[in-house]
């Protein structure tokens, strides 16, 4: 059980920006926020197109099958408020095959635009504060992440004494991931819980994760070309209910005294799960919200509480509007 819980969303991974807060596509670290997904897909698709034409006719993209999948995903991003909104539509009305295709395309995209070299470096600063001399996270802190990106894992890899494979990192870093089961996972002792699963791949008939070196354009192109994409990801949205998973991670919240919410707007679609997690924090004494829209998030957070807990905590909520580094409670600095 954890004395300090971090609850994080997409704003925790936004990476490098210019002075106006605009993502620098060519040199970007971290991840695009929801409103930037279409432009990021457009830029990436353009990178697969040739820079010249032959006889006035554009030649084939360098990886045509990957290009077609991401172009299709781009059309979804254009025609819907968010890609996740379209996923919800497919979950309700079907077809299921298209939902799985969308998750696959999104996982390919997220995997290709991330790398250890392009991680959001704020995660490194966070890890510096919470990793002990063994190269493991302190037992009194855990992260509940709604992100299916790999930013946390890339940062943790920098602090591992013995660089482990992606599969064994789940054991070494005490990671629990919705949609992924493994003999390594001890849910009651997790330092990182991936509430929406993760945009990563594993073979369909095995339980180990592909190494980062396997997730390349050439490999994805080959798998798509053969029409035998023998890999599955584990993106799993909040509305794809998994009560067993939530029950297993709930004990992490019971001793929580400090909750730090970073880059997370507490959206309606995640509300049921957020309520279960936060209502389990019976010993909660301090709440810190780190975001550009702290006041709005405070209101949504208070709506999740009982009348008694709301009265107790409302005056104790602290705002952090500086986004240059993740907030670290004093208790983690000693």
Question: If you write DSSP's letter for every residue of 225-240 in order, what string do you get?
Answer: HTT---EEEEE--TTS
Lowest-pLDDT choice from 45-54, 147-156, 201-210, 257-266? 45-54
Q: State the pairing for strand pair 231-235/141-145.
A: unpaired
Q: Is residue 67 over pLDDT 60?
A: yes
Best-predicted range by mean pLDDT (18-22, 160-164, 245-249) = 245-249
Which whole number is the average pLDDT over 231-256?
90
Which whole number is the average pLDDT over 111-116?
89
Q: What is the pLDDT of residue 256?
A: 94
Q: Is residue 1 over pLDDT 60?
A: no
Q: Is residue 184 over pLDDT 60?
A: no
Which of the four pLDDT bands, split at 50, 70 and 90, describes residue 74? very high
Mean predicted lDDT score pLDDT of the chain: 87
Q: Which long-range contacts (CB under 8 A, 24 or more apart) does 12-16 make?
A: 12/120, 12/122, 12/145, 12/147, 12/151, 12/262, 12/263, 12/264, 12/326, 13/120, 13/123, 13/147, 13/149, 13/151, 13/263, 14/120, 14/263, 15/118, 15/119, 15/120, 16/120
Q: Which of 334, 297, 289 is nearest to 316 (CA)?
A: 289
Q: What is the pLDDT of residue 54?
A: 58
Q: What is the pLDDT of residue 326?
A: 96
Q: What is the pLDDT of residue 62?
A: 84
Mark out the alpha helices in the chain (DSSP H runs). Answer: 37-47, 64-79, 83-93, 96-113, 122-130, 151-157, 166-172, 217-225, 243-249, 271-279, 294-303, 307-313
Is residue 300 within 8 A of residue 272, CB to CB? The reply is no
Copy the structure tokens of residue 85. Answer: 């909104």
User: Quick count: other Cβ atoms within 10 Å of Cβ 133?
Assistant: 6
Distance CA 303, CA 250 (A): 20
Q: Is residue 161 over pLDDT 80?
A: no
Is residue 30 within 8 A of residue 147, CB to CB? The reply is no
Q: What per-residue string of b and e applies to 183-212 under the rule 16 or more CB within 10 Å gives b?
A: ebbebeebbbbbbbbbbbbbeeeeeebbeb
Lowest-pLDDT choice from 33-47, 87-101, 166-180, 248-262? 166-180
Q: What is the pLDDT of residue 209?
A: 79
Which of the four pLDDT bands, split at 50, 70 and 90, describes residue 191? confident
Which whole number is the average pLDDT over 115-131?
90
Q: Is residue 188 over pLDDT 90?
A: no
Q: Is residue 236 over pLDDT 60?
A: yes
Q: What is the pLDDT of residue 90?
A: 96
Which whole number is the average pLDDT over 237-247?
90
Q: What is the pLDDT of residue 235?
A: 94
Q: What is the pLDDT of residue 49?
A: 77
Which whole number is the average pLDDT over 101-127?
92
Which of the four pLDDT bands, split at 50, 70 and 90, describes residue 145? very high
């Amino acid at each position: 059980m954890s004395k300090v819980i971090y609850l994080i969303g997409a704003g925790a991974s936004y990476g490098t920006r210019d002075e106006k807060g605009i993502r620098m596509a060519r040199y970007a670290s971290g991840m695009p926020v929801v409103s930037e997904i279409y432009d990021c897909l457009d830029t990436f698709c353009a990178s697969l197109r040739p820079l010249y034409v032959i006889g006035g006719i554009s030649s084939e993209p360098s990886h045509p099958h990957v290009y077609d999948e991401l172009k299709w995903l781009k059309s979804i991003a254009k025609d819907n408020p968010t890609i996740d909104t379209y996923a919800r539509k497919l979950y309700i009305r079907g077809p299921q095959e298209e939902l799985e295709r969308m998750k696959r395309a999104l996982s390919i995209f997220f995997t290709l635009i991330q790398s250890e070299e392009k991680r959001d470096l704020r995660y490194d600063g966070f890890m510096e504060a919470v990793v002990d001399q063994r190269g493991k996270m302190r037992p009194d802190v855990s992260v509940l992440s709604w992100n299916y990106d790999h930013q946390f894992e890339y940062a943790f890899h920098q602090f591992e004494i013995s660089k482990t494979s992606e599969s064994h990192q789940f054991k070494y870093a005490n990671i629990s991931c919705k949609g992924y089961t493994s003999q390594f996972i001890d849910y009651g002792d997790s330092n990182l819980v991936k509430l929406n699963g993760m945009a990563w791949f594993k073979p369909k008939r095995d339980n180990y994760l592909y190494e980062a070196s396997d997730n390349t354009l050439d490999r994805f192109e080959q798998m798509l070309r053969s029409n035998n994409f023998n890999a599955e990801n584990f993106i799993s949205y909040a509305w794809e209910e998994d009560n067993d998973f939530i029950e297993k991670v709930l004990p992490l919240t019971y001793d929580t005294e400090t909750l730090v919410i970073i880059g997370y707007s507490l959206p309606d679609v995640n509300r049921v799960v957020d309520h279960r997690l936060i209502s389990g924090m019976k010993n909660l004494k301090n709440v810190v919200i780190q975001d550009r829209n702290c006041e709005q998030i405070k209101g949504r957070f208070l709506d999740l509480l009982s009348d008694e807990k709301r009265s107790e905590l409302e005056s104790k909520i602290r705002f952090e509007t500086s986004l240059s580094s993740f907030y670290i409670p004093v208790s983690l600095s000693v």
